[in-house]
């Protein structure tokens, strides 16, 4: 069923009796060509591109809970491509372009809003670093604009410009960046994948990988064994657990990232804003809530909740940047488990086990990457070779020293 | 989280910084034949366990001691706290 304005009017006139569930609830078949483990944003996007772009018709997504119940429903919905390094920027710009056409591609309203992102800087050295990053972005075909303090003040007069320690000296803007409704992204990908014949099997936990003579033959699940020619793992947050079933140790630690939303307010924030002197990023949802977050808690955890010191740190950062939010009340807060990799960049690659493929290590930047991650993982699964924009995301780059470390902090996952 | 420091008693985890898996105590021999491979493993690969996890914490805002904390990564419950010095010596790491 295609969605359109005409369809909405027709349903309104006929008592809304024509709306149907947008994906099936199938029982698993005995064998698939490709199984994707994980019904989150990346897994569903992989299924969508596998079926729509790469022509794979015999595909299943297996999800232990319900689709979109993990990190794709827990992030702060920011979409951007403001990276610097060669291994990253072409990939994220590819993702940004996919975001721009996503709603047409999926025939689904993902509430994509290109409201822009402003990264503030507070010192001359930081201005230099942002200028360099902006130039790298432009060289890779993305958009970037450097604003001085007066230009920032014109657009965002409510910020705390004259802080004694961290005065705002300007900002790097990416106008094409913005936000998208994260649940709708998961649902849109699921609906499209289902309509192209993908079986989305929910409440089906993978409990083991059947590997014989170095080849992956399928997955053991709570609904029995399901055979497959190829198995792709897209379970970021739980990558250590699932790949551990194949006896693999990964260059990844699992950490919790907390996110927060205030009560609904009248429109106050026209774009996404990040603080350059602390870790704080904020946007305003269409319902009016200020959606914000900061650092990860910093210790290994699989619990989807964090501790209070980070809550305090995030709120301090917010109030230092825009004192007005001190008057808003916090409505909800939650945590999501992140794959923090050893260089802060993701992995999309084959594994030493034949027929087993891995997608993970997204740190806390996975949401913006959703379409490109799915596209590139689908490319890898369908063609057995990496997509041209994802060739740097190799699993063995830590062994060979080809790290992609945007922040330059080395093998300390909780600092990325 | 509260870390029950073996010398100082219960302290707020915010006084500490976190390094990671306590396996980092076992630094490989740099002169061994397979040193490159052993250091790759040591520097980059982690068990990343869900459940009981032994990890290194540094009491930065306290007595500057390194601790080995045994903590459940699914509940944050801390079951054991030792001085890293004692753990390392027990493994023959230092004299």
* pLDDT tens-place string over residues B13-30: 999 999 999 999 999 999
Spell out the residues 6+ positions from residue A414 whose beta carbon is closer than 8 angstroms to its own.
A253, A255, A296, A298, A299, A340, B18, B20
Hey, what's the torsion of the CAs at A255, A366, A407, A156, to 10 degrees? -110
Q: Which residue has the tokens 């709306």?
A: A19
Mean pLDDT of B21-43: 95
pLDDT at B93: 80
Count CB atoms within 10 A of the CB of residue A128: 11
pLDDT for residue B92 is more than 90: no
Taking Cα atoms as reference points, which of A189, A150, A188 lies closest to residue A168?
A: A150
Q: What 3-state class would DSSP assign to A154?
A: helix
Averaged pLDDT for residues B3-19 = 97
B36 secondary structure, DSSP code: H
Asked if B48 has any chain A CB less than 8 Å from its own CB, the reply is yes
* Cβ contact B55–A254 (<8 Å): no
CB contact under 8 A, B20 and A300: yes
Cα dihedral B13, B17, B18, B22 in deg (nearest 10): -90
In chain B, residues with a C-beta closer than 8 Å to the C-beta of A244 are 47-48
CB-based contacts of B95: which residues, under 8 Å, 6+ apart? none
Residue A232 tokens read as 């792709």
Q: Does B18 touch chain A (CB under 8 A)?
A: yes
Q: How far is A143 from chain B (nearest CA, A)?
A: 34
pLDDT at A190: 98
Please name the residues in contact with A150: beta carbons below 8 A apart, sequence gap of 6 or more: none
ipTM of the complex: 0.95
Mutation for A interface: B73, B74, B78, most A CBs within 10 A: B73
Q: Cβ A302–B50 below 8 Å, yes or no?
A: yes
Q: Does the beta carbon of B2 lie under 8 angstroms from any beta carbon of chain A?
A: no
In A90-116, which positions are buried (b, 16+ CB within 10 angstroms) versus exposed (e)?
A: bbbbbbbbbbbebbebbebebbbbbbb
Locate A395 and state its tokens. Answer: 């699993």
B33, two tokens? 């034949």
With beta carbons less than 8 A apart as the criterion, state whether B46 and B40 touch.
no
Flag if B50 and A241 touch (Cβ within 8 Å).
yes
Structure confidence by residue, pLDDT tens digits, A167-185: 999 999 999 999 999 999 9
Give the count of beta carbons closer than 10 Å to the beta carbon of residue A140: 20
Predicted confidence at residue A271, as pLDDT, reads: 96
* Radius of gyration of the CA atoms of chain B, in A: 14
Query: What number of CA atoms fall less than 13 Å from residue A228's CA on the CB side?
Result: 29
What sections of A322-410 are H helices per DSSP?
366-383, 397-400
> Using 50, 70 and 90 to split pLDDT, how confident is the model at B8?
very high
User: How much is the pLDDT for B95?
Assistant: 57
Q: Is A250 in contact with B53 (Cβ distance < 8 A)?
A: no
Selection from B56, B58, B86, B54 nearest residue B70 by Cα: B54
Q: Is A210 exposed, middle or buried (0-12, 13-18, 19+ CB in 10 A)?
A: middle
Q: CB of B61 within 8 Å of any CB in chain A?
A: no
DSSP symbols for A205-240: -EEEEEEETTEEEEEEETTEEEEEEEEEE--TTSHH
Q: What is the pLDDT of residue A160?
A: 96
Q: Name the pairing type of β-strands A31-37 and A224-233.
A: parallel
Q: Does B47 touch chain A (CB under 8 A)?
A: yes
Q: How far apart are CA A80 and CA A91, in angstroms?
A: 11
CATH code linked to domain B2-90: 3.30.2270.10
pTM for the predicted model, two decimal places: 0.96
> Residue B40 and residue A399: Cβ atoms within 8 Å?
yes
Q: Are strands A31-37 and B9-12 parallel, antiparallel or unpaired?
A: unpaired
3-state secondary structure of A29: coil
Q: What is the DSSP letter of A13?
A: H
Place of tokens 């898996």: B21
Closest residue, chain B, to A412 (C-alpha): B19
What parts of chain A have a pLDDT lower than 70? none
For the record, the structure tokens of A405 come out as 């470390």
Strands A117-121 and A170-174: antiparallel
Q: Bridge partners of A120?
A: A171
B2 secondary structure, DSSP code: E
* pLDDT given at position A1: 80
């Amino acid at each position: 069923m295609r969605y359109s304005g005409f369809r909405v009017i027709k349903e309104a006139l006929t008592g809304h009796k024509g709306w149907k569930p947008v994906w099936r609830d199938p029982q698993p078949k005995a064998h698939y060509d490709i199984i994707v483990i994980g019904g989150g944003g990346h897994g569903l996007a992989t299924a969508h591109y596998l079926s729509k772009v790469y022509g794979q018709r015999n595909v299943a997504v297996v999800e232990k809970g319900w689709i979109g119940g993990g990190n794709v429903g827990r992030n702060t919905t920011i979409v951007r491509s403001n990276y610097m390094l060669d291994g990253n920027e072409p990939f994220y710009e590819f993702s940004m372009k996919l975001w721009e056409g996503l709603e047409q591609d999926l025939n689904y309203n993902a509430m994509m809003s290109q409201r822009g992102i402003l990264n503030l800087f507070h010192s001359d050295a930081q201005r230099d670093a942002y200028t360099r990053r902006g130039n790298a972005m432009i060289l890779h075909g993305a958009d970037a604009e450097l604003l001085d303090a007066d230009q920032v003040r014109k657009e965002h007069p409510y910020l705390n410009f004259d802080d004694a320690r961290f005065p705002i000296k300007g900002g790097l803007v990416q106008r094409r960046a913005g936000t998208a409704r994260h649940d709708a992204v998961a649902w849109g990908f699921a609906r499209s994948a289902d309509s192209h014949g993908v079986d989305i099997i929910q409440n089906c936990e993978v409990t083991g990988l059947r590997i014989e003579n170095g080849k992956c033959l399928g997955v053991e699940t709570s609904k029995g064994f399901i055979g497959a020619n190829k198995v792709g793992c897209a379970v970021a947050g739980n990558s250590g657990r699932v790949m551990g079933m194949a006896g693999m140790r990964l260059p990844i630690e699992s950490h919790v990232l907390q996110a927060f939303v205030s009560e609904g307010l009248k429109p106050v924030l026209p774009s996404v804003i990040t603080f350059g002197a602390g870790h704080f990023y904020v946007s305003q949802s269409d319902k009016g809530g200020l959606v914000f977050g900061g650092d990860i808690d910093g210790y290994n955890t699989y619990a989807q909740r964090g501790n209070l010191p980070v809550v305090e740190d995030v709120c301090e950062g917010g109030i230092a940047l825009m004192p007005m939010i001190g008057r808003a009340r916090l409505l909800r807060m939650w945590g999501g488990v992140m794959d923090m990799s050893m260089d802060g960049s993701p992995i999309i690659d084959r594994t030493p086990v034949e027929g087993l493929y891995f997608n993970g290590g997204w740190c806390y930047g996975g949401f913006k990457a959703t379409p490109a991650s799915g596209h590139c993982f689908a490319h890898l699964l369908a063609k057995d070779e990496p997509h041209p924009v994802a060739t740097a995301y190799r699993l063995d780059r830590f062994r060979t020293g080809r790290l992609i470390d945007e922040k330059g902090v080395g093998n300390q996952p909780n600092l990325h | 989280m509260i870390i029950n420091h073996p010398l100082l008693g219960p302290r707020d985890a915010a006084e500490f910084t976190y390094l990671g898996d306590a396996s980092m105590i076992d630094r490989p021999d740099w002169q061994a034949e397979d040193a490159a491979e052993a250091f790759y493993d040591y520097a980059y690969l982690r068990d990343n366990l869900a459940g009981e996890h032994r990890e290194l914490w540094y009491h930065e805002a306290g007595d500057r001691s390194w601790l080995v904390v045994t903590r459940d990564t699914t509940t944050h419950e801390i079951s054991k706290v030792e001085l890293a010095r004692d753990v390392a010596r027990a493994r023959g790491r230092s004299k």
